[in-house]
Amino acid sequence: MTIRPTSTETIADAARYLRQGGLVAFPTETVYGLGVDATNAMAVAALYAAKGRPVFNPLIIHVPRPDLAWVFGVPTPVARALAAAFWPGPLTLVLRKQPDCWLADLATAGLDTVAIRVPAHRTALQILEQAGCPIAAPSANRSGRVSPTTADHVAADFGDALEFIVDGGATPVGVESTIVDATGEKAVLLRAGAVTRAQIERVLGAAVVVAAETTHDETKPASPGRLASHYAPRAAVRLEAQAVQDGEALLAFGPPLTHTGAMQTLSLRGDLVEAAANLFAMLRALDTIGAQSIAVMPIPDIGLGEAINDRLRRAAAPRPTKR
């Protein structure tokens, strides 16, 4: 692990490392973020593995300018007004994904929405600008630990598990960004943070709805009120399959079971990072070909396997409403 002081060379190296799929911790005005290229599914999977998150929480995507945010998310009048008032700054907007949004499905945990912001930190903006790709960056702490506001906090949490830390001193704000759902006509506060509700209401000239749960716990699935919008395959899902039954499609892990019908292989070599990177796209692919039910081979419940199994268990759970 190397902690590198901010310099022109450090920023250029960090941007290059990110483009190559690496993980880089860098300062923002809120807390230190652990960044990866949000279009690179393997890099995003490695990020979840490093943080040790037991579930796939959707990540906040960082871009250096508002017009780049609209490339990935559909701007609403509320979103444009809030972006004009608070970007760059500690406000995250949840938007509908653009139809051609090419972010890795894993970065948004398979949702049809994307959380995005423009940070107000010179070093962060320079890294984002030079990386030239959207950067998914949750707080640079291991799951369950407090958010880091100095490079030393980051180093203490990750040790040698993290290659590259950009040291920009203590972060000025020190609390997380406020998260607002801006997909509709009214703004909905999903997480309280550095920008206050009163500030938002002043800009919009309208009351802000507060979502049922605005506390933040990264060991729990994000925004529980919105779980219904989580991507679940249309097909029925059967876990721990030891054999494939008639009419089932197969989602394999390791060498596939004997099967002649539709099949996707999460990872032939049984690699959990690769499996996580493929999970959402492969569930979608099996849905697209019209599979009625999916048999899923056993996946070890260790490391990223925990988050993969959490996602699959929820996909396999009885559906409250017919879809």
Report the interface residues with ligand AMP, using CB under 6 A.
57-60, 94, 108, 111, 113-115, 138-139, 176, 179, 190-191, 218, 222-223, 226
Residue labelled with tokens 């009163």: 198
Question: What's the closest the beta carbon of residue 90 comes to ligand AMP, in angstroms?
Answer: 11
Q: Give which of 219, 230, 214 is closest to 306, Cα–Cα.
A: 219
- Stretch in the footprint of Mg ion (CB under 5 A) among 139-147, 166-174, 197-205, 238-246: 139-147
Q: What secondary structure letter does DSSP report for 106?
A: G
DSSP 261: S
123 binds, among ligand AMP, Mg ion, none (CB under 5 to 8 A by kind): none
Q: Which stretch binds Mg ion (CB under 5 A): 35-43, 134-142, 263-271, 301-309?
A: 134-142
Q: CB neighbours of 136 closer than 8 A, spacing ≥ 6?
A: 35, 36, 37, 38, 44, 47, 59, 60, 61, 62, 103, 107
- CB of 147 vs Mg ion, minimal distance in Å: 5
Helical pair 304-316 and 41-51, crossing angle rounded to 10 deg: 110
- List the single partner that 105 binds among Mg ion, ligand AMP, none, CB under 5 to 8 Å by kind: none
Residue 126 tokens, joined: 């320079």
User: Which residue's C-beta sits nearest to Mg ion?
Assistant: 139
Which of 200, 297 has the CB closer to ligand AMP? Answer: 200
Nearest CB to ligand AMP, comparing residues 221 and 233: 221
The nearest distance, CB 47 to Mg ion, in angstroms, is 12
Structure tokens at 32: 């230190």
The CB-side HSE value for 238 (13 A sphere, CA atoms) comes to 15
Three-state secondary structure call for residue 129 = helix
Query: Toward ligand AMP, which CB reaches closer, 122 or 142?
Result: 142
Task: Tell me the two tokens of residue 251.
Answer: 């989602």
Nearer to Mg ion by Cβ, of 133 and 175: the residue is: 175
226 binds, among ligand AMP, Mg ion, none (CB under 5 to 8 A by kind): ligand AMP
Among the candidate windows 83-91, 212-220, 243-251, 280-288, which touches Mg ion by CB under 5 A? 212-220
Asked if 177 interacts with Mg ion (CB under 5 A), we say: no
**Burial label, 266 (beta-carbon count in 10 A; 0-12, 13-18, 19+):** buried
By beta-carbon proximity to ligand AMP, the closer residue of 226 and 309 is 226
Minimum CB separation from ligand AMP for residue 311, in Å? Answer: 15
Contacted by 58, from ligand AMP, Mg ion, none: CB < 5 to 8 Å by type: ligand AMP
Q: Rule CB under 5 A: say whether 223 interacts with Mg ion.
A: no
- DSSP characters for 8-48? HHHHHHHHHHHHTT--EEEE-SSSEEEEEETT-HHHHHHHH
Q: How many residues does the chain have?
A: 323
Residue 108: CB minimum distance to ligand AMP, A: 6
Give yes or no for a cis peptide into 88 (omega within 30° of 0).
Answer: yes
57 binds, among Mg ion, ligand AMP, none (CB under 5 to 8 A by kind): ligand AMP
Residue 218 or residue 274: which is nearer to Mg ion going by CB?
A: 218
d(CA 191, CA 308): 25
Helix (H, G, I), strand (E, B) or coil at 295: strand
Residues with Cβ within 8 Å of 116's Cβ and at least 6 positions away in sequence, in order, are: 60, 61, 62, 63, 69, 72, 73, 92, 93, 94, 95, 134
Q: Which of 139, 171, 264, 267 binds Mg ion (CB under 5 A)?
A: 139
Tell me, by CB under 5 A, how many residues bind Mg ion: 2
Return the one option of Mg ion, ligand AMP, none that residue 232 interacts with (CB less than 5 to 8 A, by type): none
Q: Which residues bind Mg ion (CB under 5 A)?
A: 139, 218
